[in-house]
């Protein structure tokens, strides 16, 4: 049975609470640790997670236009700007105050909000060697990614089917490769290369 919007919303809020708890326990040097996002430390990931709560839609649109329509370029600029002007405590408080904020990414809906938070959580936990989100939440966040989503992250699953060893995830139609759900999330999110048989 497919998850309902209420299921997705509940898991999104739970993931945000988990991330607030996780970030609350980090030492200053961990906030400065490189994340899986190129050029971003943990604090830039936190700033990116707080973006929809700290900046209005018109400001975001203007920033994207200023970045010649490149959302990734805009995201990089605003994340560095926010970490230069805000303390880690400020970013954490913004996240804590907005755990149940209704934000969803354009065209992504509630499933996109969950995937966004889970994947960026992995950007933090993987390099720090900390526990990821619960496996069932990761599986829900991965879902059944569309060709458009995979293309956005530069993922080519030609000839490969990713099967999770610890969750109900089956993506692709090629030669089965069995991996933990966390690894599959990192692959479909463009953080790890696609394994080849």
pLDDT in tens for each of the 197 residues of the chain?
A: 789 999 999 999 999 999 999 999 999 999 999 999 999 999 999 999 999 999 999 999 999 999 999 999 999 999 999 999 999 999 999 999 999 999 999 889 999 999 999 999 999 999 999 999 999 999 999 999 998 899 999 999 999 999 999 999 999 999 999 999 999 999 999 999 999 98
Determine phi and psi for 172, rounding to 5 degrees. 95, 170
**Sequence spans of domains, the chain:** 5-133, 137-197
CA 105 remoteness from chain centre: 11
Q: Both tokens of residue 114? A: 């969950």
Q: For the chain, count helices (H), then strands (E).
A: 10, 3
pTM: 0.96
Q: Both tokens of residue 157? A: 């699953």
């Amino acid at each position: 049975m497919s998850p309902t919007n209420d299921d997705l919303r509940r898991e999104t809020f739970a993931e945000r609470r988990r991330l607030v708890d996780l970030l609350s326990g980090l030492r200053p040097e961990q906030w400065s640790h490189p994340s899986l996002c190129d050029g971003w430390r943990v604090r830039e990931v936190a700033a990116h997670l707080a973006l929809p709560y700290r900046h209005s839609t018109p400001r975001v649109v203007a920033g994207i236009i200023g970045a010649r329509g490149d959302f990734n370029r805009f995201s990089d600029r605003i994340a560095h700007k926010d970490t230069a002007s805000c303390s880690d405590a400020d970013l954490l408080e913004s996240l804590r105050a907005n755990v149940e904020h209704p934000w969803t990414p354009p065209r992504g809906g509630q499933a996109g909000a969950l995937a966004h938070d889970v994947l960026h959580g992995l950007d933090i936990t993987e390099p720090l060697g900390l526990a990821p989100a619960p496996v069932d939440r990761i599986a829900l966040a991965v879902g059944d990614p569309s060709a458009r989503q995979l293309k956005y992250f530069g993922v080519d699953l030609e000839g490969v089917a990713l099967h999770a060893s610890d969750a109900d995830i089956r993506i692709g139609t090629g030669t089965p490769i069995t991996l933990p759900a966390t690894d599959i999330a990192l692959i479909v999110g463009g953080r790890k290369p696609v394994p080849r048989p």
